[in-house]
């Protein structure tokens, strides 16, 4: 089933955030309908820097290619503002699609952008983003490739302005509408009531939007919920626990750590094929 079909009327899709090949391979085995390549997590894991427009198109494309090439689950990939002007958007959409993504997310922030649940975000004029969406729709080769239009207007300009922008992006041809950072369940319901096209909920633990259950999100009217931070927040907590044990005890021996089994990690990374290959080609 295509990603477009998975978000059709009456459908609801949960997409976990993935940011490197370990997170992607683990999530890929779990039966999710889609994976979401988080910009925050990708920039953090690749560069150790904030999600503030610092990663280049080439760096992000490399991560799209690796994740899409190493997994079987459809991948939605964050492309920030499209990495420049209209010609950059054209190149970005073509590149992400060729790399194996099933959908791309483009937002209306001023470059350099900032993470959607942090302060200080500014947005471009509506007309500029409308042109980007039209170019994105023209650039894709496969009509099943999804164009997700995100507006960050809510925090600085209010919900009405965010809805006005989402309506313009809807008319421009976006397949999915992503109104970032609503601040109450009532606002979330208003967003979903306003559009016939699928709406996306961004569930960030500790973020500006209420963290809701799957059933609550479905009843409100969302068809997609991404959880971009769950993976890297869980990984950071586990690493902190493990490294703290090493620092305090000088060893992991006897430490009560929730470790992934080493043998299972070998299977996850594909060592069994390496060993089979070596046996088959042994002299």
Please indicate, yes or no, if residue 156 is contained in any of the structural domains: yes
CA atoms within 13 A on the CB side of 233: 11
**Any idea what the CATH number is for the domain that residue 212 is in?**
3.20.20.60
Cβ atoms of 174 and 147 closer than 8 Å = yes
> What is d(CA 70, CA 24) in angstroms, rounded to the nearest whole number?
8
Could you tell me where the DSSP H helices lie in 140-229?
153-157, 159-172, 185-193, 214-220
Mean pLDDT taken over the chain: 95
Q: What percent of the chain has pLDDT over 90?
A: 91
Question: Does 16 reside within a domain?
Answer: yes
Question: Going by C-beta distance under 8 Å and a sequence separation of 6 or more, which residues neighbour residue 2?
Answer: 74, 102, 144
- Whether 137 maps to a domain, the answer reads yes
* pLDDT bracket for residue 116 (50, 70, 90): low
pLDDT of residue 144: 95
> How many residues in the chain?
283
Q: Is the peptide bond before 112 cis (omega within 30 degrees of 0)?
A: yes
Segment 36-57 mean pLDDT: 94
The Cα 153–Cα 162 span in angstroms is 5
| Residue 72 structural domain | 3-235
In this predicted structure, what is the pLDDT of residue 24? 98
Asked if the model's pLDDT at residue 283 lies above 80, the reply is no
In a domain, 277, yes or no: no
How many domains, in total, are found in the chain? 1
**pLDDT, average across residues 46-52:** 93
Residue 76 CB contacts under 8 Å (≥ 6 apart), including other chains: 3, 15, 34, 35, 36, 37, 101, 102, 103, 104, 105, 146, 148, 226
In a domain, 215, yes or no: yes
How many alpha carbons lie under 13 Å from residue 216 in its C-beta half-sphere? 10
pLDDT higher than threshold 70 for residue 81: yes
Residue 272 lies in a domain: no
pLDDT value for 199: 98
Task: Say yes or no to pLDDT of 55 above 90.
Answer: yes
Question: Residue 145: inside a domain, yes or no?
Answer: yes
Residues whose CB is less than 8 angstroms from the CB of residue 42 and which lie 6 or more positions away in sequence, other chains included: 19, 20, 55, 60, 63, 78
Q: What is the mean pLDDT of residues 251-269?
A: 93
Give domain status of residue 84, yes or no: yes
Residue 53 is predicted with a pLDDT of 87
Q: Name the token pair of 259.
A: 């470790």
Return the closest-CA partner of residue 74 out of 39, 42, 100: 100
More confident residue, 115 or 72: 72
Binning pLDDT at 50, 70 and 90, where does residue 68 land? very high
């Amino acid at each position: 089933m295509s990603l477009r079909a998975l978000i059709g009327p009456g459908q609801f899709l949960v997409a976990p955030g993935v940011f490197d090949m370990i997170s992607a391979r683990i999530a890929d085995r779990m039966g999710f309908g889609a994976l979401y390549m988080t910009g925050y997590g990708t920039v953090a894991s690749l560069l150790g820097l904030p999600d503030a427009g610092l990663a280049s198109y080439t760096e992000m494309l490399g991560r799209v290619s690796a994740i899409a090439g190493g997994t079987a689950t459809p991948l939605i990939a964050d492309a920030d503002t499209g990495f420049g002007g209209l010609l950059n958007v054209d190149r970005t959409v073509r590149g992400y699609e060729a790399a194996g993504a099933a959908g791309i997310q483009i937002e209306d922030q001023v470059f350099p952008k900032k993470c959607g649940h942090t302060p200080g975000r500014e947005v471009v004029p509506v007309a500029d983003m409308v042109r980007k969406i039209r170019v994105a729709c023209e650039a894709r080769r496969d009509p099943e490739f999804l164009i997700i239009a995100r507006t960050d207007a809510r925090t600085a300009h209010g919900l009405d302005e965010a809805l006005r922008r989402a309506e313009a992006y809807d008319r421009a041809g976006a397949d999915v509408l992503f109104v970032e950072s609503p601040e109450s369940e009532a606002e979330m319901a208003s967003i979903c009531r306003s559009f016939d096209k699928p709406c996306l909920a961004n569930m960030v633990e500790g973020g500006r939007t209420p963290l809701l259950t799957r059933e609550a999100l479905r009843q409100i009217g969302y068809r997609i919920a991404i959880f971009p931070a769950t993976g890297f927040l869980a990984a950071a907590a586990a690493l902190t626990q493990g490294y703290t044990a090493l620092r305090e005890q000088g060893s992991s021996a006897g430490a009560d750590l929730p470790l992934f089994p080493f043998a299972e990690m070998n299977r996850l990374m594909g060592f069994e094929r390496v060993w089979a290959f070596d046996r088959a080609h042994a002299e």
